[in-house]
Every structure is written in structure tokens, then in C-alpha cells.
């Protein structure tokens, strides 16, 4: 998550000089120990790339904080990496990601603290894994606010902003399925045996039934309380780190840090982390790239009941593209199903099918 909810942290370019060489705002502090230009140059030399997880201990200190208001804060290189991975193809929900747009600019400088702040707007295209989520391809805009410390040569804070409409789309639509909930429960049963037992060892189906009874999100669109959203996030983390197992429990369980998560949600405001002016700059940039800033995302292709491609009795795809110019490809090593199927590009998909996919699929309209 390029990155996801996160859905996604931007894939910062390895050579940020290409972006920062055209800074929009110039600062003049002749008496400062370090100039804004020197601070920006040090950040360039850091070579920040959000996909380079091996370098996270170099990018972040033990007190560095990543925050998404609706999902909480994550401290230190390890926790930040775990969170970022929720929105990249290592997540069980994401098949692929493609960076579509990226722009970063210097927005602030503190000569006393010797920190410089950058605003980055990115647009990423995601295709979801049909096995765990609602089949969809969409683009999302992400605003990142990076505070870099020239003293420590590390990122002090990284604040993220997605629209509430996008977060509701993620949790109330594309992850609001029984198969997505099964992914959470499978992790609880397979990776969190002690927590599973403390929850009276529900079966897979019973666990899914319990999940369906709790809200998709907590009030205010938060994914930090007794809701499915918090468990979607922490189940991905728990699959690799059992320290997160208490967070997907249905009953309050204290984790190894002495904290109880995903039980009681506290409201947080995006305006605690971003100014109106900063959000306006971001909104203007994504609007220039054809995205409605009030939504903050754009669906390219999603599940539909209108068209079905029948390749075999056990393999069906039901895709339709809202954009008539969306190109169709074929998914899977065996080209079993066509992706992004729009009526105008179905023929293109059929023409590219391998001989072993014969007989040719039939297009059927479902009534």
C-alpha cells in the first residue's frame, strides 16, 4: 500500500530530489542553525521509500509516530511497518497496487527544533483479492504530512488523511462480506489459540456470526473500537505478529504492552493533524487528476450483476468497468477469468485468451 488504509501509504520515490527540487514555498531564516534548504536536502539524502521495509530503522526512530486519525497511532519502525503492510500486496485483501500520481512539497520549517515538514499527495490504484474481499479496482487519494528532524536525521511524525467516504467504502462495502470476516476468524483460530480459547473457542462459522453482529465501524467512522474495521486491520497484523491477537478478541484482553485495543473507540479529528489549507491543497491536486475530492476515491471496476463471463462451471467472473476506456486483461496464471470486464472490451479479452481456455466463454446477461 503502493499503499493501503492505509488503503495505503504512498510509495515515496527513491530519488525524492526530483520532487523536492521544485519546492513551492521558500523560507528565509538567516540566523537559524540550519536552513530550510539544508533540512530539505537532508531529507532527500535519507532516500525515503515507504516500500523499503528493511530501511525502516533508518527512516524512523523508536519514538517516531504514524497516525491515521480514524485508525490510531503506531510508534517505532516495527509497528509502523506492520501498519503500512495492511495496505500493500502482502495484505490478504490486496492483489496489486499501482502508483498513479505523486507530488511532494515543503510546507513548513521550525528553525529552533530544526525540523522541516512536507505535504505529499499521492493517487494509487488498487485491485483487491477476490478470495477475501469484494472484487474491485479503484483509485484513492492520500495526503501525507511528514515532519523530518534534521537533528536525528529521521522522520519524527507521519500523518495520513483519507476521506471518511473512502474509509466507509473500504469497511462498509469492499470488506463487508462473509469471506472477509472469515479471514479475521481464520487468523483468530489459527494464529491466536490462547485468545481464541479465552473467547470460548467459537467455530469458524460461529465466529463469523459474532462478527456480523458488531458494527462495521464505530461512531464517527472510527476503526478503533468494538467494530469490524479494527479487527480487519489487526487481524492482518496478528497473522504475522501474535502480539496483536488480543486486539481481535471480542472480549477485552490486555496486550503485552498493557493496552486494550479494539474495544472502546475515542473520537479523533483529522483537523488535529491537518489544517484546512493543507487539505485544500490536496483536494485541488486530486481534482486536477479527475477525482472528486469529496469522495477521495474513484471506482474503476467493481462487482456487478449485469454481466457474467462463464469460462467453466466452477469459474465465473462478474466484472464491469465504469470507465468505458478501461482495458481488460486476464487474471491468474491460467487466464481463467477476465478482469475489468466492460461490454466494450470483452471482445479484446476473449481474443487474447489462450487455446487451453477453449471453449470460448459465453456472455450472459443476468436478469
pLDDT of 341: 41
* 154 neighbors 61 (Cβ within 8 angstroms): yes
What are the residue boundaries of the structural domains of the chain, listed by start? 17-174, 178-215+225-248, 304-365
Which residues touch 354 (CB under 8 Å, ≥6 apart)? 335
pLDDT of 57: 98
Residues in the chain with pLDDT values less than 50: 1-30, 302-367
pLDDT of 22: 40
pLDDT of 301: 58
Give the helix/strand (H/E) hosting 139: strand 136-149
pLDDT of 132: 87
Q: Which CATH number fits domain 17-174: 3.10.450.50, 3.40.50.620, 3.40.470.10, 3.10.20.30?
A: 3.10.450.50
User: What is the per-residue pLDDT across 137-178, written as a single tens digit (0 to 9) for each?
Assistant: 889 999 999 999 999 999 999 999 999 999 999 999 889 989
Rounded-to-integer distance, Cα 186 and Cα 29, Å? 56
User: What is the per-residue pLDDT across 53-86, written as a single tens digit (0 to 9) for each?
Assistant: 999 999 999 999 999 999 999 999 999 999 999 9
Amino acid at each position: 500500500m503502493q499503499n493501503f488504509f492505509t488503503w495505503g501509504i504512498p510509495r515515496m520515490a527513491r530519488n525524492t530530489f526530483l520532487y523536492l527540487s521544485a519546492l513551492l514555498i521558500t523560507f528565509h531564516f538567516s540566523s537559524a542553525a540550519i536552513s530550510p534548504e539544508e533540512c530539505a536536502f537532508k531529507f532527500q539524502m535519507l532516500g525515503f521509500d515507504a516500500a523499503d521495509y528493511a530501511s525502516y530503522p533508518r527512516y524512523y526512530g523508536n519514538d517516531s509516530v504514524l497516525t491515521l486519525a480514524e485508525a490510531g497511532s503506531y510508534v517505532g519502525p516495527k509497528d509502523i511497518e506492520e501498519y503500512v503492510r495492511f495496505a500493500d500486496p502482502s495484505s490478504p485483501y490486496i492483489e496489486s497496487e499501482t502508483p498513479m500520481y505523486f507530488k511532494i512539497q515543503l510546507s513548513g520549517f521550525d528553525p529552533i527544533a530544526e525540523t522541516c515538514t512536507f505535504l505529499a499527495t499521492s493517487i494509487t490504484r488498487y485491485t483487491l483479492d477476490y478470495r477475501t474481499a469484494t472484487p474491485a479496482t479503484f483509485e484513492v487519494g492520500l495526503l501525507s504530512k511528514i515532519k523530518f528532524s534534521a537533528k536525528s536525521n529521521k522522520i519524527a511524525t507521519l500523518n495520513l488523511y483519507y476521506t471518511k467516504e473512502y474509509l466507509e467504502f473500504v469497511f462498509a462495502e469492499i470488506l463487508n462480506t462473509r469471506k472477509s470476516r472469515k479471514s479475521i476468524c481464520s487468523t483468530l483460530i489459527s494464529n491466536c489459540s490462547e485468545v481464541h480459547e479465552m473467547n470460548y473457542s467459537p467455530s469458524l462459522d460461529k465466529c463469523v456470526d459474532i462478527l456480523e453482529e458488531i458494527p462495521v465501524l464505530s461512531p464517527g467512522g472510527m476503526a478503533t473500537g468494538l467494530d469490524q474495521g479494527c479487527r480487519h486491520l489487526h487481524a492482518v497484523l496478528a497473522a504475522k505478529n501474535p502480539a496483536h491477537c488480543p486486539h481481535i478478541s471480542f472480549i477485552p484482553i490486555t496486550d503485552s504492552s498493557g493496552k486494550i485495543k479494539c474495544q472502546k473507540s475515542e473520537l479523533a479529528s483529522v483537523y488535529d493533524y491537518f489544517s484546512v489549507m493543507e487539505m485544500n491543497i490536496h483536494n485541488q491536486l486530486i481534482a486536477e487528476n479527475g477525482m472528486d475530492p469529496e469522495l477521495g476515491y474513484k471506482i474503476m471496476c467493481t462487482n456487478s450483476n449485469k454481466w457474467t463471463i462463464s469460462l467453466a462451471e466452477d469459474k465465473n467472473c462478474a466484472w464491469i468497468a465504469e470507465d468505458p476506456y478501461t482495458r481488460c486483461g486476464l487474471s491468474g496464471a491460467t487466464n481463467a477469468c477476465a478482469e475489468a470486464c466492460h461490454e466494450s472490451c470483452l471482445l479484446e479479452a476473449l481474443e487474447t485468451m489462450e487455446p487451453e481456455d477453449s471453449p470460448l466463454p459465453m456472455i450472459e446477461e443476468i436478469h
